[in-house]
């Protein structure tokens, strides 16, 4: 199947009991057994639920993986991945990282003896110099949040394979519409499904997708044992959202390009961060591993003053000032005080995240209205 057909049909089937086209919400905690251990594949909904199974199968198909696992949030999915490690193990990650990922790494798992090293990954060849005998995992975001840096997934996979370490790619910003990291050599793909995959700002969920059966079984054990699983109602909403992923992403990309080009020419804008520009340091890699460049854009105003950025954010009408991203509506945010506030200022500045940076999640509204909103907010 082509991608657009996959979003609608892959992993889902008419309900065998009624013929219902949409996967039912199996709102049950437990299942009848004919004899102890003799059941129809379902015994307790923390372990398995038919609505969740359909969603996990659909996600695996979209990412060209073999196994999908869903969690109650993106953070719960990250938590499960790090639980593959043990004290003394090391993780190398990008220094431009979502604040929630940084927080769980440094505030939760570091105290249990897992070491995290954050480095620039624009030149993937430099990563190898940081690998030690204790390094067990590379953790990538690409595009990164919020600086929209691009990391070479294929190059990272070659390094990971050489040193027998796991390569994890957070694919939240791109979605499988734009890139499929497993095809480029990644071992594991992570999503905050809350964002583009759900697409309607009405559900919180995370997912992991893998090809390897042994890795899938290890993660499934953690998923069941630790219990951070989503309910069937949320899984139903995600299945609904996936069916329009391809058409939504097409519009996000179209609007994102128009907004980026408009902002690049605006007299009050110092810098626009968007991988679609030829001036982007890793634009060529983006062209090679992505199908388009997405609807996430970050902006630094001239003068680089936080108060100017906040004033603009307060004046928006259609770009709603709110956490999160990837919904059909346009959102704006101030990472330094919102999504990345958990990262110390010195670390943020060292990674290139200034206090004046504005992050835009460009929605699927009429582009003329979005550009007019930008014009009035920038003054």
Catalytic residues: 46, 98, 170, 195
Residue 180 gets the label, from left (phi > 0), alpha (psi -120 to 50) or beta, of: beta
Give the burial class of 297: count Cβ atoms within 10 A of its Cβ; 0-12 exposed, 13-18 middle, 19 or more buried.
Answer: buried
Q: How far apart are CA 177 and CA 64, in angstroms?
A: 11
Q: How far apart are CA 43 and CA 40, in angstroms?
A: 8
**CA 39 remoteness from chain centre:** 36
Strand pairing class (188-192; 206-210): antiparallel
**Token digits of residue 111:** 């105290």
Residue 319's alpha-carbon distances to 193, 243, 327, 358, in angstroms, are: 21, 25, 11, 12
**CA 142 remoteness from chain centre:** 9
């Amino acid at each position: 199947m082509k991608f657009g057909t996959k979003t609608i049909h892959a992993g889902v089937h008419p309900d065998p009991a009624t013929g219902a086209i949409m996967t039912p919400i199996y709102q049950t905690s437990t299942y009848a057994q004919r004899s102890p251990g003799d059941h129809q594949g379902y015994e307790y909904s923390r372990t398995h639920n038919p609505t969740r199974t359909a969603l996990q199968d659909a996600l695996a198909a979209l990412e060209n993986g073999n196994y999908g696992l869903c969690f109650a949030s993106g953070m719960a999915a990250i938590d499960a991945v790090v639980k593959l490690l043990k004290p003394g193990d090391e993780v190398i990650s990008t220094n431009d990282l979502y604040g929630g990922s940084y927080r769980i790494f440094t505030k939760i798992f570091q105290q249990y003896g897992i070491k995290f090293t954050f480095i620039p990954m624009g030149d993937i060849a430099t990563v190898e110099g940081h690998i030690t005998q204790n390094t067990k995992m590379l953790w990538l975001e690409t595009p990164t949040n919020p600086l929209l840096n691009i990391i070479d997934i294929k190059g990272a996979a070659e390094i990971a394979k050489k040193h027998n370490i796991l390569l994890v790619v957070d694919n939240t910003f791109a979605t499988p519409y734009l890139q499929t990291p497993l095809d480029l050599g990644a071992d594991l793909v992570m999503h905050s499904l809350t964002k583009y995959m759900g697409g309607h700002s009405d559900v919180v969920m995370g997912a992991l997708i893998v090809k390897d059966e042994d890795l899938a079984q290890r993660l499934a054990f953690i998923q069941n044992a630790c219990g951070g699983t989503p309910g069937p109602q949320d899984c139903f909403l995600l299945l609904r959202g996936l069916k329009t992923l391809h058409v939504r992403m097409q519009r996000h990309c179209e609007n994102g390009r128009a907004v980026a080009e408009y902002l690049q020419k605006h007299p009050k804008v110092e810098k626009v961060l968007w991988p679609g520009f030829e001036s982007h340091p890793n634009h060529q890699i983006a062209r090679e591993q992505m199908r388009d460049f997405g609807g996430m854009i970050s902006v630094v105003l001239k003068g680089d003053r936080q108060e100017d950025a906040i004033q603009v954010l307060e004046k928006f009408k259609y770009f709603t000032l709110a956490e999160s991203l990837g919904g059909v509506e346009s959102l704006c945010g101030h990472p330094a005080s919102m999504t990345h506030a958990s990262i110390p200022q010195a670390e943020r500045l060292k990674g290139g995240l200034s206090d004046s940076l504005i992050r835009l999640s460009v929605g699927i509204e009429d582009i003329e209205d979005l550009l007019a909103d930008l014009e009035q907010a920038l003054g």
